[in-house]
Amino acid sequence: MSLRLQLNLLVASLIALFTAVVLAFQIVDTRRSVREETEAANSVATRLLTYFVETYAQTSQPIVLQSLERLGRVRSNEITLRDSDGHTVYRSPQSPYKIGRDAPAWYAAMVTPEPMRSELHFADSVLDIDANASRAVLDGWDDTVILLQLGVVAMLLGNALVFWILRRTTRPFDTIVRGLEEMQAGAYHTRLAEFKGAEAGAIARAFNRTAQAIEDNLDARREAVEATLRLEQSRELADAVQIRVEDERRQIAQELHDETGQGITAIRSMALALVHRFDDGDEQVRDTAQLIADTAATLYASTHDLIPRLRPPSLDALDLAAALEDRVAGWRREQPRHEFVLAIGPLPDDLGESFSLAAYRIAQEATTNALRHAQAQRITIEVAVDDRQLRIDVTDDGRGLAPDWQRPGHYGVRGMRERARALGGELAIETQETGGVRVLAHLPLE
Ligand SMILES: Nc1ncnc2c1ncn2[C@@H]1O[C@H](COP(=O)(O)OP(=O)(O)OP(=O)(O)O)[C@@H](O)[C@H]1O
Ligand SMILES: [Mg+2]
């Protein structure tokens, strides 16, 4: 059943109920007032005629008859005069009030009071005074008809008003339903116009806000997906660059070792041969050859030192632990004023080159940073496997991170983080409570 029909039925029922209640009260009230009026009129007529009869008790019937005819009708009473034989010699005239009309019998039965009759005997006659409530009952009926008519008019008007108001209020609902269907079909740009009614207007505004929120949400999600894609692409690029850089370093190290190293060695050998040849000869030539041999030796040593920096050779041949020990030994030689502590836990045999290289480079950059920026005494490097995660932990006892440590143009920390993330791990750098910096990376081995 539609809302409109339901409300119309409700209003009609309420008005009908109200009319019925008023009608019931009206009938009860009419019944009471008809009885009071009839009783009062009958009692007045009886008292008047008793006095009349007592006054003329000894007189003959014609005088009473004449007086009754002059008296005429007494309201709500029928007056009848009977002679000694019981024949009616006088009947008071009919009331001209609403003559020819009577209330319906069922209504009259409800409101008409008990019959009231007074009989006055005098001389040889009887005077009957009967209460007649038919006019008062008719008045009550007429009021009832008016009340019923008003009820019907109120019902019609009330329903018409409800129908009109509801039609006005619910008219935008079709548009709202259409809008919801469009949204369901994916048209999230759908917006509703401003409706006139307060409720429909509020629904339209809420609808538009919801549609806007959905659109914003979708845009945000799309942007997030695009950003993730871009990030992944840039990570892939960074990985590719990293691999290229490592390749280049490997090749340069190889070249330095095979070509430059061999060349320098050859120069040194030739210079030494000259030294031997001129052992007893030209002293100037011998010294110059000796100088060339010494310079070549120095050059060889520094070239050789350069090779492990470009490419940790031990990572090729040995394992991560050996490579780190090698590098730390180098630092101990180069930086005698610093104390280096290296702690390497048991590492799996199948660590793989990418993990070994990442761990080595992270430890190398973190230690280099500590040497460059920390003014530290002691640098501790720990590498271990906890919970199937390779942990690289480098701490120093230096002055900690400066407030502007993240300023642009510095790439070491970023590079370490990229290496960790490329292998699905994380890297954190922070100033410890004790003052120095801690670089902690976790690379999941699974
Ligand atoms: N152990 C440390 N102690 C104090 N400050 C540090 C430490 N490690 C890093 N920093 C601070 O963080 C900054 C960024 O380090 P990052 O390695 O990214 O760059 P960098 O070492 O300055 O230059 P590069 O790009 O050559 O590595 C450094 O400039 C330094 O201020
Ligand atoms: Mg650095």
C-alpha 300 to ligand 2 mean position (Å)? 27
Q: How confident is the model at residue 318 (pLDDT cuts 50, 70, 90)?
A: low
The answer as to whether 312 is a domain residue is: no
The answer as to whether 190 is a domain residue is: no
Q: Is the pLDDT reported for residue 83 higher than 60?
A: yes
- Is the whole model's pTM more than 0.95, yes or no? no
Distance CA 377, CA 399 (A): 10
The answer as to whether 337 is a domain residue is: yes
Task: Report yes or no: 106 and 47 within 8 Å, Cβ to Cβ.
Answer: no
Question: Helices marked H in 282-436 — which ranges?
Answer: 283-310, 313-317, 320-334, 353-369, 412-422
Distance CA 53, CA 55 (A): 5
pLDDT tens-digit readout, 261-291: 778 888 988 898 889 888 888 889 899 999 9
Non-local CB neighbours of 359 within 8 Å, separated by 6+ positions: 320, 383, 390, 392, 441, 443
Q: Is the pLDDT reported for residue 85 higher than 70?
A: yes
> Can you give the pLDDT at residue 73?
83
Distance of CA 111 to CAs 8, 27, 77, 143, Å? 34, 7, 17, 13
Q: Is the pLDDT reported for residue 48 higher than 80?
A: yes
Q: At what angle do helices 198-255 and 283-310 cross, to 10 degrees?
A: 150
The answer as to whether 173 is a domain residue is: no
Pair of tokens at residue 149 = 């008519």
Domain carrying residue 140: 3-161
Report the SS3 class of residue 73. coil
The answer as to whether 62 is a domain residue is: yes
> Can you give the pLDDT at residue 195?
82
C-alpha 424 to ligand 2 mean position (Å)? 22
Q: Is the pLDDT reported for residue 330 higher than 90?
A: no
> Can you give the pLDDT at residue 60?
63
> Can you give the pLDDT at residue 228?
93
Mean pLDDT over each residue of the chain, to the nearest integer: 88
User: Which residue among 107, 133, 161 closes a domain?
Assistant: 161
Task: Report yes or no: 96 and 70 within 8 Å, Cβ to Cβ.
Answer: no
| DSSP character at residue 120 | E
Q: Is 373 in the pocket of ligand 1 (CB under 6 A)?
A: yes
Q: Is 411 in the pocket of ligand 1 (CB under 6 A)?
A: yes
> Can you give the pLDDT at residue 57?
63
Residues of the chain by 3-state class (helix, strand, coil), percent to 5: 65, 15, 25
Measured at the CA of 307, the angle between CA 303 and CA 308, to 5 degrees, comes to 135
Q: Is the pLDDT reported for residue 3 higher than 80?
A: no
The answer as to whether 180 is a domain residue is: no
pLDDT tens-digit readout, 348-361: 888 888 899 889 98
The answer as to whether 270 is a domain residue is: no
- Which residues are paired to 121 by β-bridges? 126
> Can you give the pLDDT at residue 316?
52
* String of DSSP letters for 250-294: HHHHHHIIIIIHHHHHHHHHHHHHHHHHTSSS-HHHHHHHHHHHH
Q: With 0-12 CB in 10 A as exposed, 13-18 as middle and 19+ as buried, what is 21? A: exposed
97 or 394, greater pLDDT: 394
| DSSP character at residue 362 | H
Q: Is 397 in the pocket of ligand 1 (CB under 6 A)?
A: no
User: Which residue among 112, 136, 161 closes a domain?
Assistant: 161
Task: Report yes or no: 332 and 372 within 8 Å, Cβ to Cβ.
Answer: no
Looking at all shown ligands, the one closest to residue 409's CA atom is 1
> Can you give the pLDDT at residue 317?
45
Q: Is 438 in the pocket of ligand 1 (CB under 6 A)?
A: no
Q: How confident is the model at residue 66 (pLDDT cuts 50, 70, 90)?
A: confident
Non-local CB neighbours of 238 within 8 Å, separated by 6+ positions: 418, 422
Distance, CA of 106 to chain centre: 65
The answer as to whether 167 is a domain residue is: no
User: Which residue among 161, 180, 208 closes a domain?
Assistant: 161
Distance, CA of 237 to chain centre: 40
Q: Between β-strands 378-386 and 339-344, what pairing exists: parallel, antiparallel or unpaired?
A: parallel
Q: Is 415 in the pocket of ligand 1 (CB under 6 A)?
A: no
Domain with residue 381: its CATH number is 3.30.565.10
pLDDT tens-digit readout, 128-165: 999 888 888 999 999 999 999 998 998 899 889 988 88
Non-local CB neighbours of 98 within 8 Å, separated by 6+ positions: 135, 138, 139
As for how many domains the chain has, the answer is: 2
Q: Which of 405, 416, 419 to mutate to test the pocket of ligand 1 (most atoms within 8 A of CB)?
A: 405
| DSSP character at residue 202 | H
